[in-house]
Amino acid sequence: MINYQLDDKGIATLTWDMPVGSQNGLQGSNRVALISAIEKAVQDSAVRGIALRPTCTEEMADSAHANLPVADVAQELFARTMAWHRALRQLETCGKPVAAALAGAALGGALEIALATHYRVAADNAEARLGLPDVTLGLMPGGGATQRLPRLIGIQLALPLLLEGKRLDAEAALKMGLIHALVPAGDEVSAARAWLLAQTAPVQQPWDAKGYRIPGGAVSSPAMQQLFMLANAMLRAKGLCDTPTPQHILSCVYEGMITDIDTGLKTEARHFVHSLLSGQTRA
């Protein structure tokens, strides 16, 4: 269930829970409800800022995709994936400031949604972790992480998170640039609202700004070409090529980083469907 609240300052707060054992997380009706809430906040002229409050336990984050419904027809799954991409793109390109208040774990889909916001503040919670553990389940991210994460922190820092499912504590995430601020537990919502209220001009993501460059170097740079060769070798050395998912992730990053974000998201959707419908993944 998505809880939508609009306060007298014009801040729309969207809160949802993914409790342990809840089937499908943000799949099915829950995802449709979130897409509807995003559209409502974006289109309402009374809304001047949007705060997202995904709550997720680590256990749920690990299994969030375990019950992912697999469409028998690839076209249907691709259409659903692209509808999700369009909703998140609408969120980050609407001009209104969008902030994520992360109280605890932000893993998998919760982090992918947060990456589509302009400002991410996390609680200083010693047990909280941020990451993309999808690959450890034989799955790949399908909510834009292969495109937003490298554009945010650079290809070199993003690949271990995507290919190995590494998890970061909040302090490490701050140092890496994954989040913008770390505040005492319980202050993350007020910190997010303070940032939203301080914005007086339309905001945009770094990758939508004119003159944007990928941090650390573009795919075509000699250093990044060497990095992709080493990443391929690492996948083979660790036996990670036995399943198609890591290779799909690596291809998503390589292909997506030489295009604009919207084309990159289509690339991710194609690889996501291919990976999800493969015999190894379904097994």
Check residue 72 and give its pLDDT: 59
Domain carrying residue 106: 2-282
| Under 8 Å between Cβ of 30 and 2 | yes
CATH for 64: 3.90.226.10
Domain count for the chain: 1
| Under 8 Å between Cβ of 235 and 246 | yes
HSE (side-chain half, CA atoms, 13 Å) at 82: 13
Check residue 84 and give its pLDDT: 95
Maximum separation of any 2 CA atoms in the chain, in Å: 57
Taking only the tens of pLDDT, the chain with its 283 residues reads 789 999 999 999 999 875 443 433 456 678 889 999 999 999 999 999 999 998 765 443 433 444 455 555 788 889 999 999 999 999 999 999 999 999 988 999 999 999 999 999 999 988 889 999 988 888 899 999 999 999 999 999 999 999 999 999 999 999 999 999 999 999 999 999 999 999 999 999 999 999 999 999 999 999 999 999 999 888 877 766 667 899 999 999 999 999 999 999 999 999 999 888 876 655 5
Distance CA 128, CA 105 (A): 5
Check residue 279 and give its pLDDT: 63
Token pair 């505040």 is at which residue? Answer: 183
Distance CA 53, CA 192 (A): 10
pTM: 0.90
Q: What DSSP line would sit under 51-86, residue for residue?
A: EEEEEE-HHHHHHTTTT----SSHHHHHHHHHHHHH
**53-58-63 Cα angle (round to 5):** 105
Distance CA 149, CA 113 (A): 11
For the chain, the 3-state helix, strand and coil shares in percent, each to the nearest 5, are: 50, 15, 35
Helix 261-276 × helix 145-153 angle, to 10°: 130
